[in-house]
Amino acid sequence: MSSDSDRDKRGVSAVPPSPHINWRDNNVPESVLYGDIYYAPENGLAESQHVFLEGIGAPGIWTDRDHITIGETGFGTGLNFLATWHLWRKTAQKDSCLHYISTEKHPLHRTEITRALSPWQSLEDEIRTLLSHYPDNPLQELQGYQRFQFDEGRVTLTLCVGDCASQLSRLTSQTGCVDAWYLDGFSPAKNPDMWCDAVYQQLGRLSAPYARLATFTAAGHVRRGLTAAGFHMEKSPGYGRKRERLIGRYQPNVTSITDNINPADSNRRTTPIHAKRRYSHSEKPWFHLSSPLKSGARIAVIGAGIAGLTVAHRLKQQGFHPEVYDQHDHVMSTGSGNPAGMLDLYLTAGDSLGRKFGLRAYLYALRHYGQLAQHNKGEEIFRRCGLVKIPKDEKQADILGRVLQQNLLPPTHLQQANATHIQQAGGPETPPFDPVLYLPQAGMLFPHNIGALLSTDIPVKLKNRITMLQEMTLNSDCSDDVNLAGNNTDNENKQWQLIDDSGTVISCVDAVILTAGAEAIDLTQAEHLPVRISRGQICIIPASQSKPDQQHILSGKGYVLPPLNNNDRDMPYQVVGATYDKLPDHPRPLPTEVTKTGQTDIASRLRNIAPHIHFPPSPSAVDKETAGATIAGRTSVRAYLPDHMPICGPLPIKAAYQQAYAALIDGKKGPVYPSAPYYKGLYVMAGLSARGLTTAPLLAEILTSLIFGTPPPVEDDIVQALHPARFLIRDIRRGR
Ligand SMILES: Cc1cc2nc3c(=O)[nH]c(=O)nc-3n(C[C@H](O)[C@H](O)[C@H](O)COP(=O)(O)OP(=O)(O)OC[C@H]3O[C@@H](n4cnc5c(N)ncnc54)[C@H](O)[C@@H]3O)c2cc1C
Ligand SMILES: C[S@@+](CC[C@H](N)C(=O)[O-])C[C@H]1O[C@@H](n2cnc3c(N)ncnc32)[C@H](O)[C@@H]1O
């Protein structure tokens, strides 16, 4: 039998064990694995309200806050979450946000949750909404961190599937992001893994100053363990047959508690409890986060492609009022501007971080676009038409074969394609390589409709090219005040001026998010990022020249999307693609010419999967954007990084990094280091490469959580794999 850590290390392919539920009287679920019940048989909801909600001081704890983060050990049936959400809906400020993060080693099946929660009609709406997002096959589909959003993005649930201590240890947080904890394992005697020092240490690490804690147990060793981890604990009356329970606060440097200590409850993020310190090599301070932005901060987003608009939309959902700038006269004009693209699962070999990120991004995008489509009454956003994936060569055939064997996802998401799937995708009777996969949930995205929807109610300032970002100190002359030792990051009085190509200051903001695609590196602060570009062309053919009854996407070395009948063209058409030409330099302006060579390239990519498609396509299909040209299509660029992962996070100051971490030269482990020197209030999300439509939603969620100090939707290793400083550190290590 494998240990928890073995299983967790395998990450994406681990399937957690089933909890084996036995139903006691009154529908009370009991775990056969642990020999204990999920909640008090008298009334689980009343227990949850008394022990946990009252235990942390809800609703008073959140009524004057614009966001609150509650952590839980043991999600179980979700009852504590639902009770919290229900009360929060009734009592929280308008426009405030609830983040709920919970660990669970044995996710229950949807039918088990439905049955367990059936007694509580008062939670009916929350239960229905949770279940509508909860996967059909949680044991296969829920692995590692999974994020769900409700109430137009104001309520965020992060379910961390796996062992509690191990999952919490993967949560990125430098300043402590959790405001209150519910400790809800099975009884300490039956479930010792949830009541041990490894868990308590993580609770302390992740706690905001004065974070509250509540649990049903009053066990002496739990109290002592939590006290040792920095919590001030006391006993209080329990629920039902339990005489006592524990409540507490995180106060690591305080030996006695007074009831009126509450200085940091409402503004904790500006009141760090730990003094500034130096870090050891194992703490990887170069990846530490910058201080969170204050609520009410003015934020500018540069670039109105999928990255910029998705981030801006998410900021808006969280109560901010971002302004977006783009040099062109319409949104989604550059890399993101194809008439349609694929929401597809990118599969790499092995259990790499790339695969883990790709899988998380895919599942998150399915939920994200599904929700957008559900709330959108206008143009089509996402068509869940299914995708047939034919290996492009032997190497990919091997990868897809292994993916099938590993049961990476349940058949509702991933299965071996049969002849009908391939035929309905317009594919060949005899595919060139095996196995062919069928992804029933994948589909087509419509970037222009998505752009219009995301930018609703957001000021998008078009025809504004930002050529310079200038940091200024308030109440003093404008100057570039970056301190090369990186010590300026806590100075609260910095702002950024946005300067356009005429040299005019067009805005002054607290923070800037750079989502400028291939052109992000044109701004001085980002010029050290090793962004590379590839040219990509698609062709547009009349559906009559292909298979007009094609239902699924056909994907291989090239791809063919099912027919579209959009208003912007006279006849049904199909998008086929795409070329991928690495460009050795950084041409400006970026290439947009649709070429015959590109068309020939696409034709050769499709030859063995869609030989029925005839090139050149009929001139009647000429795209409006290329009117006058003889080839119907579109060309733009993809920005990518040498390791093919995007960049997402705070923007490092190159010279300060080289100075701060010089001791790492030639792979050495230096003694101690300062924290990471960033440009205060400057963030970047770029290099989305060939999958930006698919990955932008998860990246935007990661970025906004890093900016505001809320729990990220992915584990620490993924946050670090996306960190913009990874190339600087690599170069310092290599002595470059
Ligand atoms: C041919 C092709 C096919 C693709 N197919 C798919 C697919 O099927 N599925 C998928 O998931 N992905 C696909 N992609 C990838 C995806 O389109 C990109 O990853 C994504 O569009 C990148 O989005 P972005 O917002 O980072 O960049 P962009 O869309 O390029 O947006 C950057 C924006 O920043 C603006 N900007 C730049 N500099 C400045 C400045 N200084 N001031 C003001 N504005 C500025 C630009 O005008 C632009 O609007 C495809 C890409 C190509 C090229
Ligand atoms: C008492 S139940 C939780 C009840 C839950 N809070 C609710 O509202 O229904 C304890 C939960 O802890 C989970 N669990 C047990 N051991 C765990 C571990 N090591 N890490 C994470 N979760 C664990 C169990 O599967 C179970 O769902």
Helix, strand, coil share of the chain (percent; to 5): 35, 25, 45
Ligand 1 contact via 724 beta carbon (within 6 Å): no
Residues 449-505: tens digit of each pLDDT: 999 999 999 999 999 999 999 999 875 443 333 333 333 445 457 899 999 999 999
Residue nearest to atom 18 of ligand 1 (CA): 692
Residues 56-103: tens digit of each pLDDT: 999 999 999 999 999 999 999 999 999 999 999 999 998 899 999 999
- Please, is 317 exposed, middle or buried when counting C-beta atoms within 10 Å of its C-beta (0-12, 13-18, 19+)? middle
Residue nearest to atom 2 of ligand 2 (CA): 38
Residues 208-264: tens digit of each pLDDT: 999 999 999 999 999 999 999 999 999 999 998 889 999 999 998 754 433 333 434
Ligand 1 contact via 465 beta carbon (within 6 Å): yes
Ligand nearest to the CA of 32: 2
Q: What is the DSSP string of 25-67?
A: GGG-EEETTTTEESS-SS-HHHHIIIIIITTTTTTHHHHT-SE
The 3-state DSSP class for residue 602 equals: helix
pLDDT (0 to 100) of residue 572? 84
Largest distance between two CA atoms of the chain: 82
pLDDT (0 to 100) of residue 276? 59
Which ligand 1 atom minimizes the distance to the CA of 308?
25
pLDDT (0 to 100) of residue 452? 96
Q: Facing residues of 633 across strands?
A: 539
Q: Which CATH number fits domain 287-332+453-531+642-733: 3.40.140.10, 3.40.50.150, 3.30.70.270, 3.50.50.60?
A: 3.50.50.60
The 3-state DSSP class for residue 248 equals: strand
* DSSP 8-class letter at 564: B
Question: What top-level class would CATH report for the domain 43-254?
Answer: alpha beta
pLDDT (0 to 100) of residue 644? 95
pLDDT (0 to 100) of residue 480? 37
pLDDT band with cut points at 50, 70 and 90 for residue 622:
very low
Residues 161-220: tens digit of each pLDDT: 999 999 999 998 767 999 999 999 999 999 999 999 999 999 999 999 999 999 999 999
Ligand 1 contact via 577 beta carbon (within 6 Å): yes
Phi then psi dihedrals of residue 114, to 5 deg? -55, -45
pLDDT (0 to 100) of residue 312? 98
Cα separation, 70 vs 55, in Å, equals 12
Q: What would the mean pLDDT of 368-377 be, rounded to a whole number?
A: 89
pLDDT (0 to 100) of residue 2? 34
Q: Do domains 43-254 and 287-332+453-531+642-733 have the same CATH topology?
A: no
Helix residue spans in 193-255 (DSSP H) = 197-206, 220-228
Q: What would the mean pLDDT of 118-122 be, rounded to a whole number?
A: 95
The more confidently predicted of residues 424 and 266 is: 424
pLDDT (0 to 100) of residue 136? 78
- When mean pLDDT is compared across 1-5, 238-242, 298-302, the lowest value belongs to 1-5
Contacts of 263 (CB under 8 A, 6+ apart): 210, 271
Spans of all domains in the chain:
43-254, 287-332+453-531+642-733, 387-440+532-640
pLDDT (0 to 100) of residue 616? 63
Ligand 1 contact via 575 beta carbon (within 6 Å): no
* Cα 139 to ligand 2 centroid, rounded to whole Å: 14
Cα separation, 207 vs 249, in Å, equals 9
For ligand 1, pick from 691, 698, 699, 722 the residue to mutate: most ligand atoms within 8 Å of CB: 691
pLDDT (0 to 100) of residue 547? 81
Residues 461-474: tens digit of each pLDDT: 999 999 999 999 87
Residues 324-346: tens digit of each pLDDT: 999 999 999 999 999 999 999 99
Which ligand 1 atom minimizes the distance to the CA of 637?
53
Ligand nearest to the CA of 327: 1
Q: Is residue 626's pLDDT more than 60?
A: no
Residue nearest to atom 19 of ligand 2 (CA): 163
Question: Of 325, 329, 327, whose CA–CA distance to 312 is shortest?
Answer: 325
- Please, is 576 exposed, middle or buried when counting C-beta atoms within 10 Å of its C-beta (0-12, 13-18, 19+)? buried
* Cα 123 to ligand 2 centroid, rounded to whole Å: 20
* Cα 640 to ligand 1 centroid, rounded to whole Å: 11
pLDDT (0 to 100) of residue 668? 82
* Cα 338 to ligand 1 centroid, rounded to whole Å: 9
For ligand 1, pick from 326, 496, 512, 557 the residue to mutate: most ligand atoms within 8 Å of CB: 326
pLDDT (0 to 100) of residue 673? 92
CATH number of 387-440+532-640: 3.30.9.10
pLDDT (0 to 100) of residue 475? 59
Residue nearest to atom 25 of ligand 2 (CA): 106
The more confidently predicted of residues 109 and 300 is: 300
pLDDT (0 to 100) of residue 3? 37
Q: Share the mean pLDDT of the chain.
A: 88
pLDDT (0 to 100) of residue 406? 86
Residues 275-299: tens digit of each pLDDT: 457 888 888 999 998 888 888 899 9
Ligand 1 contact via 325 beta carbon (within 6 Å): yes
Amino acid found at 657: Y
Q: What would the mean pLDDT of 397-412 be, rounded to a whole number?
A: 91
Cα separation, 161 vs 142, in Å, equals 7
Asked if 498 contacts 688 with a C-beta cutoff of 8 angstroms, the reply is: no
Ligand 1 contact via 76 beta carbon (within 6 Å): no
Ligand nearest to the CA of 36: 2
- When mean pLDDT is compared across 21-35, 135-149, 187-201, the lowest value belongs to 135-149
Q: What would the mean pLDDT of 640-653 be, rounded to a whole number?
A: 97
pLDDT (0 to 100) of residue 629? 38
Q: Is residue 604's pLDDT more than 50?
A: yes
Q: What would the mean pLDDT of 394-407 be, rounded to a whole number?
A: 93
Instruction: Report the sign of the C-alpha dihedral through residues 509, 512, 517, 521, in that order.
Output: positive
Cα separation, 99 vs 560, in Å, equals 40
pLDDT (0 to 100) of residue 82? 98
Asked if 451 contacts 457 with a C-beta cutoff of 8 angstroms, the reply is: no
Ligand 2 contact via 184 beta carbon (within 6 Å): yes
Residues 524-553: tens digit of each pLDDT: 999 999 999 999 999 988 887 778 789 999
Name the strand (E) or helix (H) holding 532: strand 532-542
pLDDT (0 to 100) of residue 477? 43
